[in-house]
């Protein structure tokens, strides 16, 4: 926490307090329910939490466990749904993690899942919403969007604060693309609800292959995205090496230029950081800083290195630079 900015610490504290309030409220609403059904959905959510993918440009992960959270919203009470969400969220953060999360990260995950699932459950069962529409698929789409927004905004908010980036741009670039998967999860939960009415909750075992297919679609899409990103990075690296080779040519032309080029590069990168330029703009500025003296290649070496005053003819040639 000491490494975080004041705004990030306040944001984490607010998220934790809100999640704890939702948790306390859900516990107070606890009513005896179908234990076998609850344990089965909890086990499925925990199992699906292992099928996770890493979000592009983030340390956070995404798994299809939200399908069983949405099912819990329809079939179970608020307290049971919150337990499923919190347990599967913590399991998602811990299981097969390359770096074990800190207690603060686990607390943030636990409470943000409590808040997201509580909001979605309250929207689905709201009498105000039911007075407007009582169609189950529509209600599921609505509560899945609420869950999606609450979940991704809480994560996106803390990432934006810790990385000092614009929240809206970060959310659109890294998290917004996941919304179709949440809507697909709502459709699966609606179909499951219809089957439960005729065949019982045990038919949810048929959802496991579907959940795995959702995970595989994540995995294939992100693998392809990662491959494209790696290719772009290799091309950009090649361009930068070419630019640096030109900078060495400038250095060979004028032995006094090397430190100057390095200083300009350092100053330019410092200004880019202070101005909040994005990665693409910063890389373009870095290339420009290395090439700003490239015009010296067109000027004869004896003019560039001449210690005395230039003649009018020499100065005219120097102007080519």
pLDDT in tens, 8-36: 888 889 999 999 999 999 988 887 777 88
pTM, to two decimals: 0.68
The three state secondary structure string of the chain is CCCCCHHHHHHHHHHHHHHHHHHHHHHHCCCCCCHHHHHHHHHHHHHHHCCCEECCCCCCEECCCHHHHHHHHHHCCHHHHHHHHHHHHHHHHHCCCCCCCCHHHHHHHHHHHHHHHHHHHHHHCCHHHHHHCCCHHHHHHHHHHHHHHHHHHHHHHHHHHHHCCCHHHHHHHHCHHHHHHHHHHHHHHHHHHHHHHHHCHHHHHHHHHHHHHHHHHHHHHHHHHHHHHHHHHHHHHHHHHHHHHHHHHHHHHCCCHHHHHHHHHHHHHHHHHHHCCCHHHHHHHHHHHHHCCHHHHHCCHHHHCCCCCCCHHHHHHHCCC
Confidence of residue 85 (pLDDT cuts 50, 70, 90): very high
pLDDT of residue 254: 64
Residue 242 pLDDT > 90, yes or no? no
């Amino acid at each position: 926490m000491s490494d975080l900015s004041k705004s990030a610490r306040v944001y984490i504290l607010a998220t934790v307090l809100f999640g704890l309030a939702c948790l306390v409220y859900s516990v107070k609403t606890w009513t005896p329910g179908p234990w076998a059904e609850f344990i089965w959905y909890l086990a499925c959510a925990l199992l699906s939490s292992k099928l996770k993918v890493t979000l592009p440009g983030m340390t956070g992960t995404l798994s299809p466990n939200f399908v069983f959270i949405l099912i819990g919203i329809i079939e179970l009470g608020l307290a049971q749904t919150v337990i499923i969400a919190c347990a599967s969220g913590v399991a998602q953060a811990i299981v097969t993690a390359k770096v074990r999360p800190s207690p603060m990260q686990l607390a943030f995950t636990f409470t943000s899942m409590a808040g997201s699932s509580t909001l979605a459950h309250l929207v689905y069962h709201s009498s105000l919403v039911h007075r407007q529409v009582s169609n189950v698929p529509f209600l599921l789409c609505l509560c899945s969007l609420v869950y999606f927004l609450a979940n991704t905004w809480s994560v996106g908010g803390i990432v934006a604060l810790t990385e000092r980036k614009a929240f809206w741009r970060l959310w659109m670039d890294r998290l917004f693309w996941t919304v179709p998967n949440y809507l697909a999860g709502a459709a699966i939960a609606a179909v499951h609800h219809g089957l439960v009415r005729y065949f019982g909750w045990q038919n949810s075992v048929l959802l496991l292959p579907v959940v795995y297919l959702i995970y595989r679609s994540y995995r294939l899409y992100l693998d392809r995205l990662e491959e494209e990103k790696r290719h772009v990075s290799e091309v950009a690296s090649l361009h930068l090496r070419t630019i640096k080779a030109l900078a060495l040519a400038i250095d060979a032309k004028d032995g006094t230029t090397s430190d100057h080029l390095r200083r300009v590069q350092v100053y330019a990168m410092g200004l880019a950081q202070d101005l909040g330029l994005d990665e693409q703009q910063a890389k373009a500025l870095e290339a420009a800083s290395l090439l700003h003296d490239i015009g010296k290649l067109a000027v004869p070496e004896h003019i560039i290195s001449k210690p005395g005053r230039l003649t009018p003819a020499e100065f005219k040639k120097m102007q080519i630079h």
